[in-house]
Amino acid sequence: MERAEALEIVKKQLTKPRYEHTVRVMETALQLADYYEVNKEKTELAAIFHDYAKYRDKEEMQKWIIKEKLPHDLLEYHPELWHGPVGSILVKHEVGINDEEVLSAIRWHTTGRRNMSLLDRIIYIADYIEPGRAFPGVDEVRKMVYEDLNNACWMAAKNTIEFLIGRNQSVYPDTFHLYNEKFIGRSLNGE
């Protein structure tokens, strides 16, 4: 699918500010794909469609979560998390994108998870650091992303967890799994 066609499809699903965010995520993701030598076509598609379901009705998203047998614990967490997993399904059904790597990157961009692919990580972090984002810690992650992508994802997960805990909000377990991935395999004394 050509970029212009994909952007036109997505534009109909998003508000103007969210569409502009999507374009910035695409540009950021493509820079990272070039740097980390990841397939640019897949990166571009995943970035363009990452927020495809962002404004879908909550009841519709609940039905897709149940129908497609997504983890039902998603329904116990803030609906803001649903658009990634549901978006990966809708992009497949409505747009005809069947590439599992692209769908995975769309699915996990909201929560992250342990053992993400390189493409998953690029979309996750591009969404987090795109130039329109301005919040505590984002500049440090922007610097880290070209030094160590895994550490940048860990920093983003850490910042997200701290933000949510600071507001007495729940944290989806896969975000903790991404955070904990840095420590897996280490002994308790740090060796």
Expressed as residue numbers, the domain containing 41 is: 3-134
Instruction: Identify residue 3 by its one-letter amino acid code.
Output: R
Q: Which residue has the higher pLDDT, 73 or 129?
A: 129
CATH number for position 12: 1.10.3210.10
Residue 176 within a domain: no
The dihedral of CA 48, 49, 50, 55: what is its sign? positive
State how many domains the chain has.
1
Q: Tell me, yes or no, whether 32 lies in a domain.
A: yes
Report pLDDT for 189: 42
| Residue 81 CB partners (closer than 8 Å, separation 6+) | 74, 110, 111, 172
Say which amino acid occupies 8.
Answer: E
Domain presence at residue 160: no
What separation in angstroms does the CA of 153 have from each of 19, 124, 141?
23, 8, 8
Q: What are phi and psi of 56, to 5 degrees?
A: -70, 150
In a domain, 188, yes or no: no
The answer to whether residue 17 is domain-embedded is yes
- pTM of the predicted model as reported, rounded to 2 decimal places: 0.94
State the pLDDT at residue 188.
44
